[in-house]
């Protein structure tokens, strides 16, 4: 097997055995990026010199361990990974896919990045994203559109489309993304890889550039469930710098994979199998449910009655928080500053007018309107009350079942440009992931088949801090199928 095609756990075994060096592995990935990324466009920035320097440090650590023994090296030592360009990286520009931060170089790493580096992971570069993570297709990046490795004429999903495409194209062994309303799970589903949104508060948001602070959560994207567990193990845990980070023990996620799912109750929400779901998607997900049943799980139909209100509630709450969070980009402290202005207010208007793209402006206006005097109670407050009802739906469901299973997205990846002028259709891409985010529970996307030759994702949703059960169900399904081993045929097109 080529080095670039390895999973994290496969590469780790070879590195520890001395059968492969991190420098060799990193060079193989960098060569693949050089060859394929001009067409896929997953990366905004690659840092080959820094990556190779980190790889050589990892090799020195591994050589010392093989010579002297001692504790096993960290599982991510020497593993090349990609970082979504909404996470701060010390010394590497962090643009959030926006012109307003085009030249911003953070003086620190986000906690999640810091924890990867502490394990000796190799940072390859920063992946493309919808501007400030606002989008479902990575078409809203101010720089370029990332393409789906399975069909270069289609979107990879979003907003973590760059990270999902990089992993699917074997241009990284794993990646970090962020999920506010589905932005890890949906692109993972559309690109045929695994993506996990942890419970809100499980992974520190410190150093994640804020979109909607009560919803944003960092999550891993990987080639299989075991890799996803390895990445989550590295980044999970309390961080005193993040007031929303929960001070609770972190389970052994790898140990949780084993044991099977016999006797587990899998809830099937009737609201997620409705008109509008592409026939091939529904067929693939129902076939996946039959596999879970064959593995000993019991399927139980459940209802999440307020699901239909998730989309309108999300598109009031998230833009309202974005309106407040993005007020800091005023041309004064950092980022773009249009100095050729009549006065300070004109400078702020010009800076924000030139720096923000159409979708970001749309959401700022939506959010500002929802928070304005006379409309706050009618819109934002009602949306928050609806959010409570959605959370209560999940609470009741998890009294009956252990996990929920449903589609990740109602369709497979759609053609680039097809929904660019229709915001509502674009927003509907996340209709099955929004409620999970509003409730703050955890969810994973795992490949479960194909429709029209494109990947379909199975979404498994778990209760708060029940990532171990979600991972166990996803792993059991993955081991019984081979969908996760399928690869796009990019090499044949070169």
Q: Distance (Å, rounded) from C-alpha 303 to C-alpha 397?
A: 7
98 and 53 together in one domain:
yes
Is 362 inside a domain boundary? yes
pLDDT of residue 333: 84
Q: What pLDDT sits at residue 460?
A: 98
Considering the domain architecture, whether residues 257 and 232 belong to the same structural domain is answered as yes
Please indicate, yes or no, if residue 138 is contained in any of the structural domains. yes
pLDDT tens by residue, 222-268: 999 999 999 999 999 999 999 999 999 999 999 999 999 999 999 99
Rounded to whole angstroms, the Cα distance separating 347 from 354 reads 10
- For residue 494, is it within any domain? no
User: Where among 353, 384, 415 does a domain terminate?
Assistant: 384
Q: What percent of the chain has pLDDT over 90?
A: 93
Task: State yes or no: pLDDT of 393 exceeds 60.
Answer: yes
- Is 289 within the bounds of a domain? no
Judged against a pLDDT cut of 80, whether residue 185 lies above it is answered with yes
Q: Which of 349, 384, 419 is the last residue of a domain?
A: 384
Candidate list 183, 204, 323, 429, residue with the active-site label: 183
Together in a domain, 263 and 365: no
Asked if residue 424 has pLDDT above 80, the reply is: yes
Mean pLDDT estimate for the chain: 96
Same-domain check for residues 11 and 145: yes
pLDDT digits (tens, 9 = 90+) for 265-315: 999 999 999 888 999 999 999 999 999 999 999 999 999 999 999 999 999
Q: Is 84 among the residues known to form the active site?
A: yes
Whether 162 has a pLDDT exceeding 50, the answer reads yes
Last residue of a domain, one of 384, 408, 435: 384
CA distance 336 to 117: 29
Query: Based on the domain organization, do 203 and 327 belong to the same domain?
Result: no
Active site annotation includes 183: yes
Does position 85 have pLDDT exceeding 90, yes or no? Answer: yes
Catalytic residue of the set 22, 84, 98, 163: 84
Tell me what the mean pLDDT of segment 372-378 comes to. 89
Tell whether 31 and 158 lie within a shared domain. yes
Task: Mark residue 485 as left, alpha or beta (left: phi above 0; alpha: psi -120 to 50; beta: remaining).
Answer: alpha
Residue range 133-153: mean pLDDT, rounded: 98
* CATH code of the domain covering residue 54: 3.90.1300.10
CA geometry: angle 342, 346, 352, nearest 5 deg: 140
Query: Does the pLDDT at position 494 exceed 60?
Result: no
Domain region containing 198: 7-270+399-489
| 301 belongs to a structural domain | no
Tally of domains within the chain: 2
Q: Which of 134-138, 247-251, 373-377, 429-433 is least confident? A: 373-377
Proportion of the chain above pLDDT 70, given as a percent: 99
One-letter-per-residue 3-state SS of the chain = CCHHHCCHHHHHHHHHHCCCCHHHHHHHHHHHHHHHHHHHCCEEEECHHHHHHHHHHHHHHHHHHHHHCCCCCCCCCCCEEEEECCECECCECCCCCCHHHCCCCCCCCCHHHHHHHHCCCEEEEEECCCHHHCCCCCCCCCCCCCCECCECCECCCCCCHHHHHHHHCCCCCEEEEEECCCCCHHHHHHHCCEEEECCCCCECCCCECCCCCCCCEEEEEECCHHHHHHHHHHHECCCCCCCCCCCCCCCCCCHHHCCCCCCCEEEEEHHHCCCCCCHHHHHHHHHHHHHHHHCCCEEEEECCCCHHHHHHHHHHHHHHHHHHHHHHCCCCCCCCCCCCCCCHHHHHHHHHHHHCCHHHHHHHHHHHHHHCCCCCHHHHHHHHHHHHHHHHHHHHHHHHCCEEEEECCCCCCCECCCCCCCHHHHHHHHCCCHHHHHHCCEEEEEEEEEECCEEEEEEEEECCCCHHHHHHHHHHHHHHCCHHHCCCCHHHHC
Within this chain, do residues 39 and 124 fall inside the same structural domain, yes or no?
yes
Active site residue 159: yes
Clarify whether residues 338 and 191 are in a common domain. Answer: no
**Same-domain check for residues 412 and 356:** no
* pLDDT value of position 339: 87
Q: Indicate which residue of 159, 163, 204, 409 is catalytic.
A: 159
Determine, yes or no, domain membership for 73. yes
Q: What is the pLDDT of residue 493?
A: 55
Q: Which residue has the higher pLDDT, 448 or 373?
A: 448
Long-range CB pairs of 479-483, under 8 A, 24+ apart, other chains included: 480/291, 480/294, 480/295, 481/288, 481/291, 481/448, 483/192, 483/447, 483/448, 483/449, 483/450, 483/455
pLDDT band (50, 70, 90) for residue 492: low
Tokens of 205: 């948001």
Q: How confident is the model at residue 125 (pLDDT cuts 50, 70, 90)?
A: very high
Query: What was the pLDDT predicted at 274?
Result: 85
- 406, 373: one domain: no
For residue 286, tell me if it sits in a domain: no
- In a shared domain, residues 362 and 429: no
Same domain, 120 and 186: yes
Q: Confirm whether 478 is domain-assigned.
A: yes
């Amino acid at each position: 097997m080529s080095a670039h095609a390895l999973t994290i756990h496969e590469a780790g075994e070879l590195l520890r055995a001395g059968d492969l060096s991190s420098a060799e592995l990193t060079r193989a990935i960098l060569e693949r990026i050089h060859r394929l990324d001009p067409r896929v466009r997953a990366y905004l920035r690659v840092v080959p010199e820094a990556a190779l320097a980190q790889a050589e440090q990892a090799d020195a650590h591994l050589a010392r361990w093989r010579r002297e023994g001692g504790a096993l090296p960290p599982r991510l030592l020497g593993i090349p990974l990609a970082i979504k360009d909404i996470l701060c990286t010390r010394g590497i520009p962090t643009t959030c896919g926006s012109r307003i931060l085009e030249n911003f170089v953070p003086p620190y790493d986000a906690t999640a990045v810091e924890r990867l580096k502490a394990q000796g992971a190799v940072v390859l570069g920063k992946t493309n994203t919808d501007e400030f993570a606002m989008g479902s297709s990575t078409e809203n990046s101010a720089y370029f559109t990332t393409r789906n490795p399975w069909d270069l004429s289609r979107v990879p999903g979003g907003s973590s489309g760059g990270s999902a495409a990089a992993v699917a194209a074997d241009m990284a062994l794993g990646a970090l993304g962020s999920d506010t309303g589905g932005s890890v799970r949906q692109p993972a589903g559309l690109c045929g890889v695994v993506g996990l949104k942890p419970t809100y508060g499980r992974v520190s948001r410190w150093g994640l550039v804020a979109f909607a602070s009560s919803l944003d959560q960092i999550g891993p994207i990987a080639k299989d469930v075991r890799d996803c567990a390895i990445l989550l193990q590295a980044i999970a845990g309390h961080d005193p710098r993040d007031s929303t980070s929960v001070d609770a023990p972190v389970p052994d996620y790898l140990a949780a994979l084993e044991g099977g799912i016999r006797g587990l109750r899998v809830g099937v929400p009737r609201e997620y199998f409705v008109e509008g779901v592409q026939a091939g998607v529904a067929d693939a997900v129902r076939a996946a449910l039959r596999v879970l049943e064959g593995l000993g799980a019991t399927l139980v139909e459940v209802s999440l009655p307020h699901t239909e209100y998730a989309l309108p509630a999300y598109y009031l709450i998230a833009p309202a928080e974005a309106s407040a969070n993005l007020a800091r980009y005023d041309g004064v402290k950092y980022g773009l500053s249009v100095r050729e202005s009549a006065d300070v207010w004109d400078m702020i208007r010009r800076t924000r007018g030139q720096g923000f793209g159409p979708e970001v402006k749309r959401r700022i206006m939506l959010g500002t309107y929802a928070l304005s005097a006379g409309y706050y109670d009618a819109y934002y407050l009602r949306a928050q009350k609806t959010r409570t009802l959605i959370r209560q739906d999940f609470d009741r469901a998890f009294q009956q079942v252990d996990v929920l299973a449903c589609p990740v997205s109602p369709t497979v990846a759609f053609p680039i440009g097809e929904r660019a002028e229709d915001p509502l259709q674009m927003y509907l891409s996340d209709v099955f992931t929004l409620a999970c985010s509003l409730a703050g529970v955890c969810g994973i996307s795992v490949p479960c088949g194909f429709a029209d030759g494109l990947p379909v994702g199975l979404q498994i949703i778990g209760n708060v801090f029940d990532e171990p059960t979600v991972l166990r169900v996803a792993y059991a399904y993955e081991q019984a199928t081979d969908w996760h081993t399928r690869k796009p045929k990019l090499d044949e097109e070169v």
